[in-house]
Amino acid sequence: MKIAHLLGVGWTSLVLLACNGQAVKTDTPAKVETEEEKVLYALGLAIAQNSLEPFKGQFSDAEIAVVMQGFADAVKGGEPIVSLQEFGPKINPMLQERLQKVQAQAAAEGEAFREKAAREEGAVQTASGLIFKELTAGTGASPKATDRVKVHYHGSLIDGTVFDSSVERGEPITFALDQVVKGWTEGLQMMKVGGKAKLTIPPELAYGPGGRAGIPANATLIFEVELLGIE
């Protein structure tokens, strides 16, 4: 049986194993102490992040228990409670419906957040929808879209969740400005070396309705960026 591209191709078989069961108790957390237990736990994280990341936070505890029961029955060779042949084709329509709800909710929340951000003192909203706010004025040159730049940055979602930060890692990063999301390409060209700015980036200038690991579908992204140099 083939499952549509909604599920990550490399993890399709594993996810299929996890979708044909009945609720189990999950009150007692599993032990994650030995090296092998940590690898097994990482396997669970990888399955979820590679195949179900856009649905993060959209499954109740009871629903997760159902998924895990199906996974356990399949791995242990137990008798399936339901037929994968019958219910497998219903997986993608269900996930698609949920994804649309996630996308719509994120789009609405992001739009409200950006409207407020655009009204902040000193904020400038460009024609593309990027909201640029200078925090510290730079004195050097401004990069071109084809330049390589060295920056320190702190990236978060509108709820404050930090998804990436060179500041927290304690090491700046260098990259080509035409190889990042459009909001970065545009926003960094509005800066000067030595300057710091806040970029509020709409999803169409970031990762759009698909999202990526750690970034939900249709997410508005907030970056505080310090332009350290142009290479």
Q: pLDDT tens digit string along 171-226? A: 999 999 999 999 999 999 999 999 999 999 999 999 998 888 788 889 999 999 99
Cβ-proximal residues to 54 (8 Å cutoff; 6+ apart), any chain: 99, 102, 210, 211, 216, 217
Name which of 1-5, 142-146, 202-206, 217-221 the model is least confident about.
1-5
Residue 28 pLDDT grade (very low, low, confident, very high; cuts 50, 70, 90):
low
Q: pLDDT tens digit string along 147-177? A: 999 999 999 999 999 999 999 999 999 999 9
Mean pLDDT of the chain: 85
For 46, the token pair is: 């990888």
For 116-145, b/e burial (b = at least 16 CB within 10 A) is ebeeeeebebeeebbbbbbeeebeeeebee
Tell me the whole-structure pTM to 2 decimals: 0.72
Alpha-carbon distance of 161 to 211, in angstroms, equals 15
| pLDDT reported for residue 20 | 39
What average pLDDT does the segment 96-124 reach? 93
Contact 205, 129 (CB under 8 A): yes
| pLDDT cut 70: percent of the chain above it | 85
| pLDDT reported for residue 14 | 45
Alpha-carbon distance of 199 to 190, in angstroms, equals 10
Number of other CB atoms surrounding residue 61 within 10 Å: 9
Name which of 52-56, 57-61, 210-214 the model is least confident about.
52-56
Residue 229 pLDDT grade (very low, low, confident, very high; cuts 50, 70, 90):
very high
| pLDDT reported for residue 128 | 97
